[in-house]
Amino acid sequence: MTGAGSPQRVFGIVLAAGQGTRLGSALPKAFVSVGEETLLSLSLARLQREVSFEKVFIPYPDGYGDRCREVLEGSSLLKGSLRGSYELCQGGDTRQQSVWAALQRVSEEVDEEGERAVVLIHDAARCLVDPSSVRRVVDAASLHGAATLGLPQTDSLKRVEPETSVAEETVSRAGLWRIQTPQVFEFAHIFRAHREAVEAQEPPTATDDADLVQRFCPVRVVLGAEQNLKVTTPWDLDLVRMLVGGSNGPSSAV
């Protein structure tokens, strides 16, 4: 954290263990290139500009540990800034399981009773995250213990019958937000949230961490930014490459 009176220890979890099925790339999505960099290295570099992490844990897909290390050590953006300050850990089959794998590693570092530590969790797929959004969500979590970025919904929303594709109902968008990462939590909250979900043997299908924390702790939603899009489809990747001015061709080539 940056401000006076902020918690002293900030741990990061940057999720890189997804396959990128919807992107359809040969490599897991986090390792796909954007110019000379990758989604993962861009994400990390942008976060590190704003936050002094004690350590960043990076879940990677099974079998891609070496590739992950190569991506990090080969990044000129990260040169010098990451040495010794990150640890790789094998991710799980779902996003929730990947976060849990990393949280267990964080728990080994946070063992003093009552110690105040916070965890910032970010999707490597959001590689254009902007510094002011990061600052806002970190500040909100410092004040309230749990915060996420989001954006108010702007499109009209309809429930559509899946078989016939006929619009059945218009859903009010009032009060609906699209949720982004980073999400930032006091360690005790996020660890409890995941531990309880594991103990209850729930299916590990949460697509964001606020979903688990908000069951027992209010999560503040603070304004994010459109540029903090999640690369999900080939179109998203084309857009990110255009914005970064990278030299890659169309994403169909990855």
* Site of interaction with ligand CTP (CB under 6 A): 15-22, 29-30, 59, 91-95, 98, 123-125, 230, 232
Contacts of 70 (CB under 8 A, 6+ apart): none
Q: Which is nearer to Mg ion, 6 or 90 (CB)?
A: 90
Q: State residue 157 phi and psi, 5-degree precision.
A: -120, 135
Q: In the complex, what is the shortest distance from the CB of residue 232 to Mg ion, in angstroms, rounded to a whole number?
A: 8
Residue 94's binding partner out of ligand CTP, Mg ion, none, with CB under 5 to 8 Å set by partner kind? ligand CTP
Q: How far is the CB of 235 from Mg ion (least distance, A)?
A: 17
Q: Which does 173 bind (CB under 5 to 8 A by kind): Mg ion, ligand CTP, none?
A: none
Number of residues that bind Mg ion (CB under 5 A): 1
Alpha helices by DSSP H, the chain: 39-50, 65-73, 95-109, 131-144, 187-199, 210-213, 234-244
Binding mask 12-41 for Mg ion (x = CB under 5 A): ------x-----------------------
- Cβ closest to ligand CTP, residue 94 vs residue 248: 94
Complete DSSP assignment for 95-133 = HHHHHHHHHHHHHHH--STT--EEEEEEETT-TT--HHH
User: Among Mg ion, ligand CTP, none, what does residue 232 contact (CB within 5–8 Å per kind)?
Assistant: ligand CTP
Q: Which residues bind Mg ion (CB under 5 A)?
A: 18
